[in-house]
Amino acid sequence: YADRFAGQLVLVTGAGSGIGRATAVAFAESGARVVAVDRDAEGAARTADVARLIGAPEAWAETVDVSDEQAMEKLAEKVAAEYGVVDVLVNNAGIGLSGSFFDTTAEDWRKVLDVNLWGVIHGCRFFGRQMAERGQGGHIVNTASAAAYQPSRALPAYSTSKAAVLMLSECLRAELAGRDIGVSAICPGFVNTNITSTARFTGVDSEEEKRLQKRTARLYGLRGYPPEKVAEAILRAVVRNQAVVPVTPEARGTLLMSR
């Protein structure tokens, strides 16, 4: 998509690593001005540096925790005042959490819902409203997961947070359809990033743990599915205005079975 996003302002959360970094860089390659948001200041700054090197006319790093409502509201005000209204918003920041239902503490439930669900809600409320009020269209991408529609004993809290993101995206898509603002939910399967390399399927019986590890190794070998391919799917989703986008072969297969 060379120059496809020239002149557009793209904001990506969780841009300090993995899928978010690859996405910010891919938009930069396509000519966009990029805001890389992460709670990890160093990661966000590196992504902005790479984005500039690769061709973004401008790129900025912002250090924000997406689960912090006030910080997100302030960020939206700052971005609008200093860089402009965002044309493409990618709510991608997320954390993993494994453990069986009864092994998951209330604190862990809150933590994962605060980041994975509330982070997306804050992004859509503050940046989506600006987009709608400007009246010149735009696009919102939310990174859900194949876990959103594929039940697992290993990831009940994570999967619940992602199922909520998927439904939120579909509801908002219906609401914004008449205003030329598309909403896409990206649903990757297992992708090779920090989230998965540090994941441990704790608290589930070892049978399921072994099954998950075997399946992953069988599908992708040791290298795993690259985040750059998820980034490609995200740009395609914006260009084609796709609603629900399963990425990776097993994510496509399980979506067909679940709907």
Active site residues: 158
Which one, 131 or 195, has the nearer CB to ligand NAD?
195
Burial bucket for residue 112 (CB in 10 Å: 0-12, 13-18, 19+)? buried
Which one, 17 or 31, has the nearer CB to ligand NAD?
17
Distance of alpha carbon 22 from alpha carbon 5, whole angstroms:
16
- Count of residues touching ligand NAD (by CB under 6 A): 30
Token pair recorded at residue 78 = 């700052």
Torsion of CA 219, 251, 117, 98, to 10 degrees: -40
Does position 115 interact with ligand NAD (CB under 6 A)? The reply is yes
Does position 154 interact with ligand NAD (CB under 6 A)? The reply is no
Burial 55-67 (b: 16+ CB within 10 A, else e): bbeebbbbbbbbb
Dihedral sign computed on CA atoms, order 183, 168, 92, 209: negative
Among 74, 129, 171, 194, binds ligand NAD (CB under 6 A): 194
Does position 92 interact with ligand NAD (CB under 6 A)? The reply is yes
Does position 18 interact with ligand NAD (CB under 6 A)? The reply is yes
Dihedral sign computed on CA atoms, order 36, 134, 171, 229: negative
Which one, 128 or 227, has the nearer CB to ligand NAD?
227
Burial bucket for residue 229 (CB in 10 Å: 0-12, 13-18, 19+)? middle
Does position 156 interact with ligand NAD (CB under 6 A)? The reply is no
Does position 17 interact with ligand NAD (CB under 6 A)? The reply is yes
Distance of alpha carbon 102 from alpha carbon 203, whole angstroms:
9
Does position 98 interact with ligand NAD (CB under 6 A)? The reply is no
Burial bucket for residue 181 (CB in 10 Å: 0-12, 13-18, 19+)? buried
Does position 123 interact with ligand NAD (CB under 6 A)? The reply is no
Token pair recorded at residue 230 = 């998820």
Among 12, 26, 59, 66, binds ligand NAD (CB under 6 A): 66
Residue 136, classed as helix, strand or coil, is: coil
Does position 190 interact with ligand NAD (CB under 6 A)? The reply is yes
CB of 17 to ligand NAD, least distance (A): 3
Q: Give the CA distances from residue 120 to residues 12, 72, 85, 99, 169, in Å, rounded to whole numbers and listed in that order.
A: 11, 10, 18, 23, 9
Name the segment binding ligand NAD (CB under 6 A); options: 11-19, 73-81, 82-90, 237-245: 11-19
Does position 65 interact with ligand NAD (CB under 6 A)? The reply is yes
Residues 200-219 interacting with ligand NAD (rule: CB under 6 A): none
Name the segment binding ligand NAD (CB under 6 A); options: 50-58, 75-83, 123-131, 188-196: 188-196
- What is the contact surface with ligand NAD in residues (CB under 6 A)? 13-14, 16-20, 38-40, 43, 65-67, 92-95, 115, 119, 143, 145, 188, 190-191, 193-196, 227
